[in-house]
Amino acid sequence: MKYYKLDRDTKAYLKRMAVDGIKTPADIYSVNDFIVGLKDLSLWQNIIDCWLMRSLQNAGSGTNLYALKYNINNGTMVNGPVWSDAGIVKNGATQYITIPRNILGGNISRTIIAVAKRSTAQNIVLSYGNLSATRFALKTEIGGDRVALDAYNGSGNDNFGITNANGIFNQIAASYDTRTLIFKMNNATATTSTISMSFNSNTSNIIFGGWQIGNMSTGLSTTPFGLISDTGFTSNEIDSFYNLYKLTIGKGLALP
């Protein structure tokens, strides 16, 4: 494929990095296939933004994590997380990635998706919201070798856990829409709840590696991907997204 055949949003992604002196990522064709696939699934327009954390799909060095869609959503790697071919590696104790909160829109509906490998202790892979208010948190847990979702609406708390498989990479997804909360690992059967959620875009934080600044995880972890949408993906849409991820930017991670 010649660069002129790339999707216009792939070209925009490259241009934003090139302005900062970043060379074209080596795996840009997988990135292009991912973007085109999202558009074919009619999901691209519903995604606020997503973050490709494998070194061959992003800057691969430095502290700036480029968002796939808009510069305003670029993340900052704090206290020395390390780029790798499999994703950004964080020690959990002091290292994390923060995303600007001004991206979140005003909708109540939300979807968050992350791909992560089980850490050496409990790890908050992706947290969205506020620790003392409404929040989603996708987690990997050493006990029981699980992935889990912590959903808190300010007064009530729902925790869902799904058995993991020997610390391999997994996609973890949570979606909320019209009082229905969905939690899925990969394309397994969804766990659902009727907990009521109401997110405040002005106070909601996005953190990879902890609840919020000053309240980090404890385990070494590797994260190749994260996404936030202001619509609630259906269970079938989460499955379709998972299949697309495996075939494109998730190649080589041995996702189940």
- The model's pTM: 0.91
Length of the chain, please? Answer: 256
202 vs 62, 106, 107, 247, CA distance in Å? Answer: 28, 9, 12, 36
The per-residue pLDDT for 154 is 67
Which tokens belong to 13?
Answer: 């992604």
The one-digit pLDDT tens for each residue of the chain (256 residues) are 456 689 999 999 999 999 999 999 999 999 999 999 999 999 999 999 999 999 999 999 999 999 999 999 999 999 999 999 999 998 767 888 998 865 554 557 889 999 988 666 667 788 887 666 667 878 776 665 677 777 777 666 666 666 655 558 888 898 888 778 888 888 887 788 887 776 666 556 788 887 666 666 556 688 999 999 988 999 999 999 999 999 999 999 999 8
What's the half-sphere exposure (Cβ side, CA atoms, 13 Å) at 4?
0
- Do β-strands 96-99 and 146-153 pair in parallel, antiparallel, or remain unpaired? unpaired
DSSP string, the chain: --GGGS-HHHHHHHHHHHHTTPPPPTTHHHHHHHHHHHHHTT-GGGEEEEEE-SGGGS--SSSEE-BSS-GGG-EEEES--B--TT-EEE-SSS-EEEE-GGG--S-S-EEEEEEEE--SS-EEEEEEE-TTSEEEEEEEETTTTEEEEEEEESS-EEEEEEE--TT-EEEEEEEEETTEEEEEETTSPPEEE-------TTT-EEEESEEETTEE--S-EEEEEEEEESS---HHHHHHHHHHHHHTTTTTS---
The per-residue pLDDT for 73 is 92
| Domains present along the chain, CATH in parentheses | 3-247 (2.60.120.200)
13 vs 20, 41, 53, 99, 193, CA distance in Å? Answer: 12, 20, 14, 17, 37
